[in-house]
Amino acid sequence: MFTPVACSQCGKPFQVQQDTLGKPTVCPWCQATVTALPVGAPAPTPATPEPLSLDEAPAKPVPLPAPQQSKATRVLLAAAALLALVAAAGATVAVKQRKHGHLTSWEWKAYSPPDKAFTIELLGTPAADPDAPAGETRYVAEGWYSGVRTWVGWRDLTQTQVQLAGTKDNFAHFKDVFGPDRLRARFGGAVVRDATTNFENPLTREVRTDAGGVRAVERMLVYATGPRPRAYFVGIAGTLDFDDPAVARLFDSFRVAE
């Protein structure tokens, strides 16, 4: 017995035997293989794929563990960090101490005038002082880090001064040449010493002033003999003590050429 069906592709009707209903068959019109369904029956709905189970979800990639640092590497990094902190602290202290009288050995520089009459160590590079007293040549240097000033000056002795330098009361004659007003005019403060420390060649007088934050020491050394009879003036001033090693170093470094 034949039953009329319709092609789901071209839509044209044809007949198939009843025992082939619902089975694949070839349309005589378009030659497409379709399911033999009676005329008026709904076309089969394509099956909807079932959602994947959560248990069947694709596995997420597992991140690789970060490489572990060795103990030696950790120690080196910690040491580097500590050194950086120490260096930073040292730099901070160094900046705060600059220009506060903290001397460093590299600030000392040997100086000798063009005529090579003497040698001395000064803090920094000296420059001619335009404010030197009349008849006196003076060079002043300041330490870049310490801020301490050092200087050396000189004036040629007159024939009368050469003769007076050899007398018993020579110190009295040179008090007018070298007195406390020299330092007071430059640095202020009170005179805490004004004395002759050596009466023989070289006649030596020393003056000290204290202005609270700034202390100054200057010596006059009178060399009345030799090829260049002169009075030399050597001094130091800054935020330092009178017994600071820098004071002794300055005066000990002064040497007059023979």
Q: What is the pLDDT of residue 183?
A: 92
Domain ranges of the chain: 2-43, 105-256
Q: What is the mean pLDDT of residues 233-256?
A: 96
Task: Provide the percentage of residues in the chain whose pLDDT is more than 70.
Answer: 81
Q: What are phi and psi of 229, to 5 degrees?
A: -65, 115
Query: What pTM was estimated for this model as a whole?
Result: 0.62
Q: What are 83-134's pLDDT values in tens digits?
A: 765 555 444 444 444 544 466 789 999 999 999 999 999 999 999 999 999 9
Q: Mind listing the pLDDT tens digit for each residue in 137-186?
A: 999 999 999 999 999 999 999 999 999 998 888 888 888 889 899 999 99
| Superfamily per CATH, domain 105-256 | Mog1/PsbP, alpha/beta/alpha sandwich (3.40.1000.10)
Per the model's pLDDT, the better-predicted residue between 6 and 61 turns out to be 6
The whole-number pLDDT of residue 67 equals 64
The confidence score (pLDDT) of residue 245 equals: 94
